[in-house]
Amino acid sequence: MTAYPHMLAPLDLGFTTLKNRVLMGSMHTGLEETKDWNRVAEFYAARARGGVALMVTGGMAPNREGGVFPGAAGLFSDEDIANHKIVTDRVHDADGKIAMQILHAGRYAYSPDCVSASAVKSPISPFPPKELDEDGIEKQIADIVTSAARAQQAGYDGVEVMGSEGYFLNQFLVTHTNKRTDRWGGSYENRMRLPVEVVRRVRDAVGPEFIVIYRLSMIDLIPEGSTWDEVVMLAREIEKAGATIINTGIGWHEARIPTIATSVPRRAFTWVTKKLMGEVSIPVITSNRINMPDVVESVLADGCADMVSMARPFLADPDFVAKAMNGNAAQIAPCIACNQACLDHTFSGKLSSCLVNPRACHETELVVKPATDVKSIAVVGAGPAGLSAALTASERGHKVVLFDKASEIGGQLNMAKQVPGKEEFWGLVDWYRTMLAGSDVDVRLETEATADALAGFDEIIIATGVMPRDAQIPGQDGPNTVSYRELLQGKVVAGDKVAVIGAGGIGFDVAEFLVTEDSPTEDLDEWMEEWGVTDPAARRGGLAEAGPQPETPARQVTLLQRKATKLGKGLGKTTGWIHRASLALRDVQMVGGVNYERIDAEGLHVSDGAARENPRVIKADTIVICAGQVSERNLAEALMTRGKSPHVIGGADVAAELDAKRAIDQGTRLAASL
> Of 551-570, which residues contact ligand NAP (CB under 6 A)?
561-563
Nearest to 118 by CA among 192, 185, 179: 179
Interaction residues for ligand NAP, span 506-535 (CB under 6 A): 506-507, 509
> DSSP per residue over 471-508, as a string?
---TTTTSTTEEEHHHHHTTS----SEEEEE--SHHHH
CB 548 within 8 Å of CB 530: yes
User: Can residue 663 be called a binding residue for ligand SF4 (CB under 6 A)?
Assistant: no
Angle at 575 between CA 293 and CA 172, to 5 degrees: 85
CA neighbor of 116 nearest in space, from 66, 76, 191: 66
Stretch that binds ligand SF4, among 270-278, 338-346, 369-377, 645-653 (CB under 6 A): 338-346
Q: Which of 4, 156, 167, 432 is catalytic?
A: 167
Residue 131: helix, strand or coil by DSSP? Answer: strand
By CB under 6 A, tell whether 336 contacts ligand SF4: yes
Closest distance to ligand SF4 from the beta carbon of 566 (Å)? 24
Contacts (CB under 6 A) with ligand NAP, residues 385-424: none
Shortest distance in whole angstroms from residue 311 CB to ligand SF4: 8
Q: Which does residue 238 bind out of ligand SF4, ligand NAP, none, counting CB within 5 to 8 angstroms by kind?
A: none
Helix (H) or strand (E) holding 402: strand 399-403
Reduced to 3 states (helix: H, G, I; strand: E, B; else coil), residue 614 is strand
What's the per-residue H, E or C state across 132-179?
CCHHHHHHHHHHHHHHHHHHHHCCCCEEEEEECCCCHHHHHHCCCCCC
Which amino acid would we find at residue 410? G
Determine contact, residues 100/57, Cβ cutoff 8 Å.
yes
- With binding defined as CB under 6 A, does residue 627 bind ligand NAP? yes
Pairing status of strand 211-219 against strand 481-483: unpaired
Q: What is d(CA 236, CA 629) in angstroms, rounded to the nearest whole number? A: 56
Half-sphere exposure of 341 (CA within 13 A, CB side): 23
Stretch that binds ligand SF4, among 85-93, 331-339, 530-538, 638-646 (CB under 6 A): 331-339
Gap between the Cα atoms of 54 and 22, Å rounded: 7
DSSP 441: -
Interface positions, 340-359, toward ligand SF4 (CB under 6 A): 340-342, 354-356
The nearer residue to ligand NAP, 258 or 507, going by C-beta atoms, is 507
Q: Does 413 bind ligand SF4 (CB under 6 A)?
A: no
- Alpha-carbon distance of 229 to 248, in angstroms, equals 16
Binding residue for ligand NAP, selected from 31, 626, 649, 664, defined by CB under 6 A: 626
Please state whether 523 falls in left (phi above 0), alpha (psi between -120 and 50) or beta.
beta
Q: Cβ closer to ligand SF4: 67 or 258?
A: 258
Segment near ligand SF4 (CB under 6 A), from 277-285, 333-341, 429-437, 603-611? Answer: 333-341
- Are the CB atoms for 266 and 258 separated by under 8 Å? no
Cα angle 309-311-316, degrees, rounded to a multiple of 5: 130
CB of 333 to ligand SF4, least distance (A): 8
Of the pair 181, 472, the CB lying nearest ligand NAP is at 472
d(CA 357, CA 535): 36
SS3 call for 403: strand
Q: H helices of 303-453, where? A: 313-316, 320-325, 343-346, 384-395, 413-416, 424-437
* 3-state class (DSSP) for residue 9: coil
Q: Which does 285 bind (CB under 5 to 8 A by kind): ligand SF4, ligand NAP, none?
A: none
Q: Are 104 and 171 in contact (CB under 8 A)?
A: no
**Among 338, 387, 599, 649, interactor with ligand SF4 by CB under 6 A:** 338
**How far is Cα 384 from Cα 547, in angstroms, rounded to an integer?**
39
Go through the chain and tell me how many residues it has: 674
* Cβ closest to ligand NAP, residue 169 vs residue 510: 510
Q: Which of ligand SF4, ligand NAP, none does 382 bind, CB closer than 5 to 8 A by kind?
A: none
Residue 332 CB, nearest approach to ligand SF4 (Å):
12
Query: What does 336 interact with, of ligand NAP, ligand SF4, none (CB < 5 to 8 A by kind)?
Result: ligand SF4
Binding-residue pattern over the window 479 to 508 for ligand NAP, x denoting contact by CB under 6 A: ----------------------xxxxxxx-
**Distance in Å, CB of 316 to ligand SF4, minimum:** 5
Nearer to ligand SF4 by Cβ, of 194 and 250: the residue is 250
Tally of helices (H runs) and strands (E runs) in the chain: 22, 27
Residue 122 is classified by DSSP as -
573 lies in the binding site for ligand NAP (CB under 6 A):
no
Q: How far is the CB of 312 from ligand SF4 (least distance, A)?
A: 4
Q: How far is the CB of 592 from ligand NAP (least distance, A)?
A: 7
Q: Which residue is nearest to ligand NAP (CB)?
A: 504
- Among residues 91, 296, 305, 337, which is the contact residue for ligand SF4, using CB under 6 A? 337
262-281 residues in contact with ligand NAP (CB under 6 A) are none
Q: Does 46 bind ligand SF4 (CB under 6 A)?
A: no
> Do the strands 98-102 and 115-116 form a parallel or antiparallel pair, or are they unpaired?
unpaired
Q: Which is nearer to ligand NAP, 36 or 486 (CB)?
A: 486
Whether the CB-CB separation of 315 and 354 falls below 8 Å is answered with yes
Q: What minimum distance in Å lies between the beta carbon of 201 and ligand NAP?
A: 44
Residue 46: phi, psi to the nearest 5? -60, -40
**Does the footprint of ligand NAP cover residue 657 (CB under 6 A)?**
yes
Strand duo 466-468 + 629-631: pairing = antiparallel
471 binds ligand NAP (CB under 6 A): yes
Per partner kind, with CB cut-offs from 5 to 8 A, the member of ligand NAP, ligand SF4, none near residue 471 is: ligand NAP
Per-residue contact track with ligand NAP, 629 to 648, x per CB under 6 A?
A: x-------------------
Judged by DSSP in three states, 169 sits in helix
CB of 501 to ligand NAP, least distance (A): 6
Q: Quick check: 122 binds ligand SF4 (CB under 6 A)?
A: no
Angle at 91 between CA 314 and CA 391, to 5 degrees: 40
User: Comparing C-alpha atoms, which of 71, 69, 72 is closest to residue 60?
Assistant: 72
Query: Least distance from C-beta 518 to ligand NAP, angstroms?
Result: 21
| Binder of residue 216, out of ligand NAP, ligand SF4, none (CB less than 5 to 8 A by kind) | none
288 scored as a contact of ligand SF4 (CB under 6 A): no
214 assigned to active site: no
Contacting residue, 22, 48, 245, 315, with ligand SF4 by CB under 6 A: 315
Catalytic residues: 167
| Contact set with ligand NAP (CB under 6 A) | 340, 469, 471, 501-507, 509, 561-563, 571-572, 626-629, 657-659
| Contact set with ligand SF4 (CB under 6 A) | 312, 315-316, 335-342, 354-356
